[in-house]
Amino acid sequence: MTQRVITADGLAKLVTEWAKKGAVYAPVKAGSKDWTEFRRVTSLKETDFSRVNTKQSAKGLLFPQREVMLRFKDGKSEEPAAPEEQVILGIRPCDAAAIAFQAKFFTGQGQTDPYFKARLDRTTFIGFACNTPAETCFCTAVGGSPSGTRGLDLLLTDIGGKYLAEPVTDKGAALIADMPDPAIGDLERKLAEKCAEQMPQAIDTAALKRRLDSGFEHPVWDELNLACVNCGACTFLCPTCHCFDVTDEERKGRGARIRVWDSCQFCIYSQHASGHNPRQTARSRYRNRVMDKFKYTVDMVGELSCVGCGRCIIECPAGIDVRETVEVLTRQLPEAAEKK
Amino acid sequence: MSREEALRKRARELLESKQVVMVVGHRAASTKGKAQPAFIAKPEDAESLIFDETCGQNLAGHLLKVKHLGKIAVVTKGCDSRSILVLLKEKQLDRAQLHILGVGCEGVKEDGKLSDSCITCEYPNPIVCDEMLGEPAPGDRLQTLNPKPQTGELTSDERWRELSEDVSRCIRCYACRQVCPNCYCPVCFVDASQPALVGKTTELSDNMVFHIMRALHMAGRCVECGSCARACPMGIDLMKFNRKAAQIVKERFNVVAGVKEDDAPALTVFDPNDKQEFIR
Amino acid sequence: MPGNPYLPLDVRVEKVTVENDAKDLKTFDLSFVDASARTAFEFIPGQFGFLSIIGTGEAPFGIASAPSEEFIKYTVKRVGGFTTALHELEPGTVIGMRGPWGNSYPLDLMQGKDVVIVSGGFSFTTLRSTIVHLLDPKRRPQFGKITCVYGARSAGELLYKDEIKAWESSSDIDLHLCVDKLGSDPWPRTEGLVPNVLKQVAPSSKNAIALVCGPPIMIRFTHPVLEALGFRPDDVFLSLENRMKCGIGKCGHCNLGSKYVCKDGPVFSYSQLRGLPAEY
Amino acid sequence: MSTAEPHPQEAGSQEPEPKIVAFLCNWCSYAGADLAGISRIQYPASIRVIRVPCSGRVDPFHILKALQSGADGVLVSGCHPGDCHYLTGNYVARRRFAVLNDLLEFAGIDPGRVSFSWVSAAEGERFAEVVREVTEKVKALGPNRKLVKEPAS
């Protein structure tokens, strides 16, 4: 599909136009805080693309932390209204890949999750390629790229006051159909490649997976989990984590069945009504998270559920670095299948 | 000898002589400016111990995870020692099974900035320890920087709005609770499910109830180490609540958590003459 | 949203039966408010459904009725908030149900073979479904000998007393009832734990499939007995339960490694389970 | 957290009384309320009584939960200091309530939303007075909008 160049003014006009038709979400500086977060905007002026990544990923725009599944009044229940059309502007390739993973998980695997699907169908993803990685970025190590297009409709690369626009889907191409079509220099394309060069080398995730396949009972987990405090920061900030809890809330005959994010790091997560808990120990919960990222989802949907955004590294209150965890596991777990 | 050098040397000795089975301390995390709790069981690993301005995690809580192993040595700043005292009083730790390695603390930094709790800290040196490593920190160093927590002359509505802004950012990851050395309930009130007590949503009402209740549960027990505020991924100053609770306890009951070895946690006891001006 | 799998269908409570002396086990017979939905609700013994009470919540339970029966039957123990609300329902109340979810017992594999059914406590529900299904005169000739060992703490805790009494005298099924401790009641006559009784009954493993459902402790002691009787791991099937919220493999809660109990189970062969973490 | 439906306390409503959840100790204030009733002492029908074995049984969480569930005010009433049926229940409770009281004020919950009193079994008139006072205070504050949770939004 034809690449085009959009000037800053051109993009500003587009944003204003989109905002008239539906919701536009883009990174915005979070008040006095030193970070950006996705917020609804009506003009390009409000946005701030200066950070590599937003504090929280864009996953909440498709899978909100609190979502109404059913609303009820006087014993009658009804489904919530369909979500509105939305454009997510400035999503980084890692986060877009994460949503693509979630889409595979939520819409495949037998049943389709209608709430996620409804939002997905009404969302346009306009990505921003990364020109400079953060210290904690490692998308290239887990199969991504700072200019990756997975999950996107359109990818923008900042080429100094102008944006190189690369359509990924027809929907994306249509967005910029009216833009001029100047020749693209190779030089400009190389920006993103240069970014990729600064990133860590690929992890042999297939080898790690083979090790994890037989490494469930390995003593390495006893040491790895010690520093972990079993909070849910990593899982809630992770763009691929998808677990949820369902609860009913009711007052005076009115209420809703809602779902809220849940975390496998919480003790209560796996506890049976009888009180029996299959993952009673902190060690087993930590192991479950790592296993899920690098093995379980590979078995389930054929891919890792880590996109290398680095949020868990930045925010871990115990200073745990998943890259280090992976390195330790690869080093210590034997590759040959061992008998339990 | 710097505190860090003294620490490594002593840790190695203690492990080599088998006086302790483990030294709990800090090691450098992979990202700049962060440390990670370290659980050192082999003498040769003592070299990875660090002690500097990045070592903000309160290690007292981590002791609960490893106390079953045997006698543990623990690197202890002023705040860690206060938490240990609270845990000892609450019968969560056995003093005989602890070897407390005291270190003077010049304050810990977060993103290069002195942590708020360290600005107001009055106890940079351990209250209780078996030995001091290196020089104690100057006790009066922080007095000059001591801006008391601002309460201001705000109206109820203004205070509600200000706290609401903070609290509405909460994503209920419970990092604050999990890093807290003195939060160790097997089932936290927010996790209670039969029946469920606190709503699991991030609505303001649920978030506010969670944070007020947590402050209440910490009243008379919180040692103001600031771990919760530093742990919060959403940058909520959780110490606003805890500092207030500590201030209430001090003003009303004249108790400061974890600074005396022989007093009881403020809310487990009473004085028949406690002020009751708020009761009709 | 068309085909929303989270949307419960309206069902009416037709009958509530108290099953045990402790009165904490009740069986609910449910009919669909929209009668055509009953035909659409096709299930196989071993599957489960979610019962839903608006404003209270929902929870998964194994279906206790056989596909041929008119009403959908669930037997529920009162443990938490939801099940307490369920226990308070009067006949005629309309509640919600969604499902059927999960796989089932391996009926195809059981064709032409002996079937050994082992169950303890109130987990007998989906096995009742299975037995009623197998004993259908049209279907009974398709299977070999059917042996069942079913036990509970006391006679009063055995489910479906009228039915199992009838089965005891039936030639279609060799039923062995046992209780942990004999009471004054002359029925049942056998005292002993399920695994021990199974050992005495010693059903042949030749051309046979074993179905097991019970509390974790029973499962643990039953398997060695089956193994000693010559059952291969491929021929032993266990029905598991884990905490779950969605029933369709999305919420994440019920995973055993890479498998979800809700979607890939709840019935797993022992050989499958050997390759999975024992997190159930 | 805005309430969608009209609040009983709002203008034009038929029911002008606010809703106040009252946690009353079985041994004193509950009996005090009884005495007020038996003595035909008038007081506003604003309170919804929950009988507790001791004011020490009242967890601050109960108070917050009442506000979350739509109460406009909460009253906790127990035995006078020294008179606790369990000797010291109210003393320990008093410390908890003191911290809660000050923390709620700090959080911007209007003082007067949550009240505490000591009322003995013999003080029927005093009980009525306390309820009148608490009701007036809560009325003056208007409906509870801060902690209330609207589940269907």
Where do the structural domains in chain D lie, given as residue ranges? Answer: 20-141
Q: Mention the CATH class of domain D20-141.
A: alpha beta
pLDDT digits (tens, 9 = 90+) for B41-70: 999 999 999 999 999 999 999 999 999 999
ipTM of the complex: 0.90
Provide DSSP, B14-70. Answer: HHHTTS-SEEEEEEE-SSTT-EEEEEE-SGGGGGGEE-STT--S--HHHHHHHGGGS
Per-residue confidence band for D151, with pLDDT thresholds at 50, 70 and 90: confident
Average pLDDT over chain B reads 90
Instruction: For chain B, give every domain's residue range.
Output: 3-142, 156-268
User: What's the gap in Å between the CA of B119 and the closest CA on chain D?
Assistant: 22
User: What's the gap in Å between the CA of B78 and the closest CA on chain D?
Assistant: 25
Is B144 touching C (CB cutoff 8 A)? no
With contacts defined as CB-CB under 8 Å, which chain B residues touch A66?
201-203
pLDDT digits (tens, 9 = 90+) for A21-52: 999 999 999 988 899 999 999 999 999 999 99
User: What's the gap in Å between the CA of B143 and the closest CA on chain A?
Assistant: 28
| pLDDT (mean) for B241-249 | 93
What pLDDT is stored for residue A251 in this prediction? 84
Per cent of chain D over pLDDT 70 is 88
pLDDT digits (tens, 9 = 90+) for D88-132: 999 999 999 999 999 999 999 988 999 999 999 999 999 999 999
With contacts defined as CB-CB under 8 Å, which chain C residues touch A246?
57-58, 245-246, 251
| pLDDT (mean) for C17-31 | 93
Kindly tell me if the per-residue pLDDT of A179 is higher than 80: no
pLDDT digits (tens, 9 = 90+) for C79-129: 988 999 999 999 999 999 998 999 999 999 999 999 999 999 888 999 999
**Beta-carbon separation of D152 and A252 below 8 A:** no
Kindly tell me if the per-residue pLDDT of A180 is higher than 90: no
| pLDDT (mean) for A317-329 | 91
C232 in Cβ contact with A223 (< 8 Å): no
- Paired residues of A162 in beta bridges: A7
What pLDDT is stored for residue A132 in this prediction? 86
Cβ burial of A49 (10 Å; 0-12, 13-18, 19+) is: middle
Per cent of chain C over pLDDT 70 is 100
Per-residue confidence band for C167, with pLDDT thresholds at 50, 70 and 90: very high
What pLDDT is stored for residue A340 in this prediction? 40
Which chain C residue is nearest to residue B195, measuring alpha carbons?
C81
Using a CB–CB cut-off of 8 Å, the residues of D that contact B are: 1, 60-61, 64-65, 68, 81-82, 88, 91-92, 94-111, 115-118, 130, 133-134, 146-149
Average pLDDT over chain A reads 89
What pLDDT is stored for residue D1 in this prediction? 40
CA distance B64 to B94: 10
Which chain A residue is nearest to residue D66, measuring alpha carbons?
A251
User: What's the gap in Å between the CA of C81 and the closest CA on chain B?
Assistant: 6
- Nearest Cβ partner for B36 among A33, A65, A320: A320
Kindly tell me if the per-residue pLDDT of D6 is higher than 50: no
Instruction: For chain A, give every domain's residue range.
Output: 4-197, 205-332
Residues 34-93 of A with CB under 8 A from C: 69-70, 72, 75, 77, 79, 82
What pLDDT is stored for residue D4 in this prediction? 45
Per cent of chain D over pLDDT 90 is 84
Neighbours, chain C (3 or more CB pairs < 8 A): A, B
- Nearest Cβ partner for B35 among A226, A229, A319: A319
**Beta-carbon separation of D70 and A252 below 8 A:** yes
With contacts defined as CB-CB under 8 Å, which chain D residues touch B244?
102-103, 106
Q: Which domains does chain C have, with CATH numbers?
A: 9-101 (2.40.30.10), 107-239 (3.40.50.80)
Per cent of chain A over pLDDT 90 is 59
Is B196 touching D (CB cutoff 8 A)? no
Dihedral in degrees, nearest 10, Cα atoms B128, B133, B135, B136: -20
- Nearest Cβ partner for A246 among C1, C83, C245: C245
Name which of A248-252, C107-111, C267-271, D31-35 the model is least confident about.
Answer: A248-252
Kindly tell me if the per-residue pLDDT of A339 is higher than 70: no
Kindly tell me if the per-residue pLDDT of B151 is higher than 60: no
User: What's the gap in Å between the CA of A231 and the closest CA on chain B?
Assistant: 5
Number of other residues whose CB lies within 10 A of the CB of residue A132: 11
Kindly tell me if the per-residue pLDDT of A184 is higher than 70: no
CA distance C84 to C56: 10
With contacts defined as CB-CB under 8 Å, which chain C residues touch B193?
80
CA distance B37 to C246: 37
Query: How large is the greatest C-alpha to C-alpha distance in chain C, in angstroms?
Result: 57
Per-residue confidence band for B146, with pLDDT thresholds at 50, 70 and 90: very low
Kindly tell me if the per-residue pLDDT of A192 is higher than 80: no
Query: Which residues 6+ apart lie within 8 Å of C193 measured at CB?
Result: C151, C178, C180, C218, C221
**Beta-carbon separation of C79 and B194 below 8 A:** yes
pLDDT digits (tens, 9 = 90+) for A112-136: 999 999 999 999 999 999 888 888 9
pLDDT digits (tens, 9 = 90+) for B93-118: 999 999 999 999 989 998 888 888 88
Neighbours, chain D (3 or more CB pairs < 8 A): A, B
Q: For the sheet containing D114-118, what is the strand order?
A: D47-52, D20-25, D73-78, D114-118
- Nearest Cβ partner for A272 among C1, C94, C243: C243
**Beta-carbon separation of D115 and B280 below 8 A:** yes
What pLDDT is stored for residue D63 in this prediction? 96
| pLDDT (mean) for A311-331 | 92
| pLDDT (mean) for A100-116 | 92
